[in-house]
Structure 1
Amino acid sequence: MRIRIDLLSAMLLLGFAGACAHGGPSAATGCEDSEALCWDFEEGTLPAGWTAYRDEFSGQLLVDDTRPHQGRYALHAKQLVGGKEGEQGGPKKTIRFELPAQFGPVLWGRAYVYTTPARPVSHAGLFNARYPRPGSADRAFDTLDWYEVATYQQKYMSIWHPPEPPGFPEWVQVSDTPLVLDEWTCLEWLFDGDNGTQPEAAEPRVWLNGVELNWPEKFVFSDPPTTTPPVREKASHFTVMETGVFLYQGLSVPTDWWIDDLAVGKQRIGCDPD
């Protein structure tokens, strides 16, 4: 570990980790680590600590029993639709969670994701984690730098952003791997806001079913356009994270996502064995 958790934070971590420790086959892989935060949604409702955040256009975000990865329940972004593809503004249904104090600058994550019936062309975010800018004492959500795991142009994508709004100029990485439809997949990510002796935070890394994704397409997105990459400011501590589904352009085909066995920690958590 890069830092030692103080007693209060350790108690919080243990308490939140217990949110998924229901025992039996529903317990998420990797939750044996007492410093991992894990949620399998087996309460049948939003777990403790998570609160509703974005709610735009049509659809719902709820915990239900329609398609769990394991156990009985999963987080379900149900029938999201709205806006026009190619234009800004799309359905967004998310929840957010305040991380324990002194979490640290490195965040590993893991979630199982199921998508149907079609691959969105629009930017569809699935998970992000945020941290204060260097030297800033401001913890407001719209003042934080952030990493994101998403899909775009029907492929997996990852991004480093400055504070939102506007959230750009952002550093975008698009994979050559199409979004998997109609089956559960294990997504893992590493957000390294420390990056050792390097002058900037690391680019995000993402794995699909244990295989690290390649990023043949990398670019800066900004409005107005620029080719100057943003400075990826380094982190002291991640403070807040968000999950669900958030589309930044329209979605014309009603689409469902399920997210289950979500976990974050300071070390790699891993997927279920084959």
Structure 2
Amino acid sequence: MLRAWMLAAMASCAHAPPERPPGPVSATGCAAPGTLCWDFEEGRIPDGWTPYRDEFHGELRVDDSRARSGRYALHARHLSGGTEGNQGGPKKTIRFDLPEGFGPVLWGRVYVYTSPARPMSHAGLFNARYPRPGLTGGPVETLDWYEVATYRQRYMAIWHPPEPPGFPEWVQLSDTPLVLDAWACLEWLFDGANGTQPEAAQPRVWLDGAELSWPETFVFADPPTAQPLVREKASNFTLLEAGVFLYQGLSVPTDWWLDDLAVGPRRIGCEPPPEQARP
């Protein structure tokens, strides 16, 4: 995955930006067919989700210390460990196997609260994975994947080949700082079909309803490679991962809360804050 100091020295690649579909995409909410939603109001890890990564210090749990709506949220608590600038950081995540035949297009939404500091290290929040062309399934280490994350205190999106090693990867780094000490609504579109185009689409991400731009884009590999990256197309997404996973160290103990996570084949959208939603 991304090495902090190596990336800081890389220049943006001269790739053409992705084509944008005309006009806004309407939101459908959790009632749309095929949409899966988790509000964590069971007070525990929801059914179907299982523990996945667990490295360094901290814990991942559902608790009532902070919630965007209701009483409970998924809490990555007091994460720390490793050395900033070096590979290896705290990772606390859960995973979920999608229903068979989910499809090659995955919209998602989650509300995120981060405190007390914006990490410089690569901090993943959510990813979705799919089998490589010609395959219908397989273990997690054989799957291509899209990721929503932060890096150098800004929002980031990545397309990865199977992990390990997870690269060469297509990296998009925004100029938008991570929202700190407040709830932020993140949405994403992972289009693994991409119509008649020869490759899967680049990831798209929205923050509180506004689409992020990516002034810094590049292919990352360790060691660097001149081999062109090919984003392989998808037939069906099969696996989700949520929580917080840092690929470099984190020296300031940091908490993340994730609430009202949802995925589906259509845009789900951000809701008004709970106090505005009430009549």
Quote the offset at 1:139 in angstroms: 1.3
Quote the offset at 1:30 in angstroms: 1.6
User: C-alpha offsets along residues 159-189 of structure 1, whole Å, 9 cap, x if unaligned?
Assistant: 0000000000000000000001000000000
1:100 — aligned with what?
A: 99
Quick one: structure 1 residues 34 and 78, their matched pair in 2 at CA, closer, same or farther if it must change by over 3 Å? same
User: Is 1:107–1:191's contact at 8 Å kept on the other side of the alignment?
Assistant: yes
2:180 — aligned with what?
A: 181
State the Cα RMSD in Å.
Answer: 1.0
Quote the offset at 1:35 in angstroms: 1.7
1:119 — aligned with what?
A: 118
1:150 — aligned with what?
A: 149
User: Is 2:76–2:256's contact at 8 Å kept on the other side of the alignment?
Assistant: yes
Report the Cα distance in structure 2 between the residues aligned to 1:229 and 1:84, rounded to whole angstroms. Answer: 31
Q: One-letter code of the match for 2:184?
A: T
User: Is 2:76–2:255's contact at 8 Å kept on the other side of the alignment?
Assistant: yes
1:110 — aligned with what?
A: 109
Quick one: structure 1 residues 118 and 229, their matched pair in 2 at CA, closer, same or farther if it must change by over 3 Å? farther
1:41 — aligned with what?
A: 40
2:194 — aligned with what?
A: 195
Report the Cα distance in structure 1 between the residues aligned to 2:229 and 2:95, rounded to whole angstroms. Answer: 25
> Would you say how many aligned residue pairs link Structure 1 and Structure 2?
246
Unaligned 5+ runs, structure 2 = 1-27, 274-279
* DSSP 3-state at the match of 2:225: coil
1:129 — aligned with what?
A: 128
Report the Cα distance in structure 2 between the residues aligned to 1:32 and 1:106, rounded to whole angstroms. Answer: 18
Q: One-letter code of the match for 1:102?
A: G
Quote the offset at 1:46 in angstroms: 0.5
Quote the offset at 1:227 in angstroms: 4.4
Quick one: structure 1 residues 75 and 225, their matched pair in 2 at CA, closer, same or farther if it must change by over 3 Å? same
User: Is 1:52–1:96's contact at 8 Å kept on the other side of the alignment?
Assistant: yes
* DSSP 3-state at the match of 1:120: coil
Report the Cα distance in structure 2 between the residues aligned to 1:151 and 1:137, rounded to whole angstroms. Answer: 30
| Between 242-251 and 218-227, the greater mean CA deviation after superposition | 218-227
Q: One-letter code of the match for 1:111?
A: V
TM-score with structure 2 setting the length: 0.87
Quote the offset at 1:31 in angstroms: 1.5
Quick one: structure 1 residues 137 and 265, their matched pair in 2 at CA, closer, same or farther if it must change by over 3 Å? closer
1:58 — aligned with what?
A: 57
User: C-alpha offsets along residues 72-104 of structure 1, whole Å, 9 cap, x if unaligned?
Assistant: 000000000000000000000000000000000
* DSSP 3-state at the match of 1:121: coil
2:212 — aligned with what?
A: 213
2:8 — aligned with what?
A: none
User: Is 2:173–2:217's contact at 8 Å kept on the other side of the alignment?
Assistant: yes
User: Is 1:170–1:229's contact at 8 Å kept on the other side of the alignment?
Assistant: no
1:5 — aligned with what?
A: none
Provide runs of 4+ in structure 1 moved above 3 Å. none
TM-score with structure 1 setting the length: 0.88
Report the Cα distance in structure 1 between the residues aligned to 2:139 and 2:201, rounded to whole angstroms. Answer: 23
Report the Cα distance in structure 2 between the residues aligned to 1:229 and 1:263, rounded to whole angstroms. Answer: 33
